Structure 1
Amino acid sequence: MSDEPLLRPTEIDRIREGIAAAVLGAPEGLADSLEHDAHGYLRLVDASRVGAEESSRLLREAVQGARAAGHSWDTVGRVLGVSRQAAQQRFSGKAGEAGSSAPPGEGSNAPKRRTLGGLTAFDEMAALEEAGRDGWHVVGYGPFYHEVEASSHPWEHCRVALPSAARHRRMESEGWIPVGAGWFPWRYYKRPLNPGT
């Protein structure tokens, strides 16, 4: 990794402005209330808390994404301005199954499931394409894995970088089914295919 900054100052400013605009703009009437309502400042604290929690979640998922893309803990630590050990202690093993959308099946009538492990950001879609052709569809995911469930027909899968609400609605109208809450920066979708497709 070179010593050249990954983001330009103007990009950093746009990110900061975007976060501030989201915190002030999402709660209806918040910005206007700050001129005359002391309660508005408590709403601002709450909105800022939500923004900080979401930023923290995005950072955890971005780190796991960098690891899934093959970057070392040393490299991730350098980007974060901490040691390899500090980055690993803070971010390894805390992701859990954030993308999981269904509990594991149990009992003899439960659908058959398996885990596609050792995946990276660069090969996960090919693995899902192959599994989908064989009748498996994704039901959960996390760093380095996708959990898939067996069905009687083929599936197709796609991932989209943070779709807008309009794009999300359009995809659903085209038969795409969202899986889980997303794994920053991706949102995963699936849809059944007709046999022979």
Structure 2
Amino acid sequence: MTLTAGLDEATTARLRERIAAAVVEAAGTPGDPAADPEGTLRLVDAARVAAEETSRLLRTSIDGARSAGHRWDAVGAVLGVSKQAAQQRFGSPTAKPGQDAGTGEGGRPRRILTPLTAFDEMEVLEREGRRGWHVVDYGTLYHLVEASEHQWEHLRQPWNPAARRRLEEGGWTLVKSMTFPWGYYKRPLDLPAEP
């Protein structure tokens, strides 16, 4: 069995077929190009959207793998490129622990929590949430938090639209609108921030 990006050949073929089918369906199944020239442009547009989304999914998947502790050489091996090529293309600027990150809405202080991994980030966010800090953005190995007067709770949830709806009904807010493979949620508590 030959592996491609960690997937076997049959899984890779199914994934490619599903992506192609979704693009054709979104374009309205263009027919004969001579009879439906607008259909060919819809197909181009649908393929563009699919390419943008798969590019975003690739980047966030790599961020997730890095947050889970995988090194650049492992990521590069899956992508079929060198460690250096993977890091140059998908790496992000290194954040410094406790770095002042300016101010947010209303002039509230922000700071960067780093280095964080999938193994310790929730414990750190629980502690900082009690102190009134809540997540406003995140990336590979860091969370950007903002100060407030009340405590916050944070949740990491595998990406799932149905779960997102349930959580939002429960008062949770998704930190970023598009997330993969998991999303981070937050909600304020009716308790004053601890010192």
Q: Deviations over 1:2-43 (max 9, x none)?
A: x9763223322332233223323345xx12x43552211111
RMSD between aligned alpha carbons? 2.8
Give 3-state SS (helix, strand or coil) of 1:169's partner: helix
Relative distance call for 1:50 and 1:7 in structure 2 (3 A) is same
**Structure 1: stretches of 5+ with no match in the other structure:** 97-102
Give TM-score scaled by structure 1 length: 0.80
Partner of 1:55: 54
Partner of 2:128: 131
2:116–2:142 Cα contact (<8 Å) kept: yes
1:84 matched to 2:63? The reply is: no
Give 3-state SS (helix, strand or coil) of 2:136's partner: strand
Give TM-score scaled by structure 2 length: 0.81
CA distance in 1, matches of 2:181, 2:64: 8
2:3–2:9 Cα contact (<8 Å) kept: no
Partner of 1:115: 112
* 1:154 partner amino acid: Q
Q: Identity across aligned pairs (percent)?
A: 54
Relative distance call for 1:43 and 1:147 in structure 2 (3 A) is same
Relative distance call for 1:132 and 1:73 in structure 2 (3 A) is same
Which of these residues, 145, 153, 156, is aligned with residue 156 of structure 1?
Answer: 153
1:93 matched to 2:81? The reply is: no
2:134–2:152 Cα contact (<8 Å) kept: yes
Relative distance call for 1:119 and 1:169 in structure 2 (3 A) is same
Give 3-state SS (helix, strand or coil) of 2:186's partner: strand
Relative distance call for 1:37 and 1:95 in structure 2 (3 A) is farther
2:92–2:140 Cα contact (<8 Å) kept: no
Count of residues in correspondence between the two structures = 183
Q: Greater strand share, 1 or 2?
A: 2
CA distance in 2, matches of 1:163, 1:21: 21
Deviation above 4 Å: which 4+ runs of structure 1? none
Partner of 1:65: 64
CA distance in 1, matches of 2:183, 2:155: 8
Q: Deviations over 1:24-76 (max 9, x none)?
A: 3345xx12x43552211111111101111111121122222222222222221
Q: Deviations over 1:115-168 (max 9, x none)?
A: 11101122212211111122211111111111111222211111222221x332
Give 3-state SS (helix, strand or coil) of 1:148's partner: strand
2:104–2:110 Cα contact (<8 Å) kept: no
CA distance in 2, matches of 1:106, 1:168: 25
1:61–1:95 Cα contact (<8 Å) kept: no
Q: Deviations over 1:81-138 (max 9, x none)?
A: 1122222222222899xxxxxx95269x611222111011222122111111222111
2:156–2:185 Cα contact (<8 Å) kept: yes
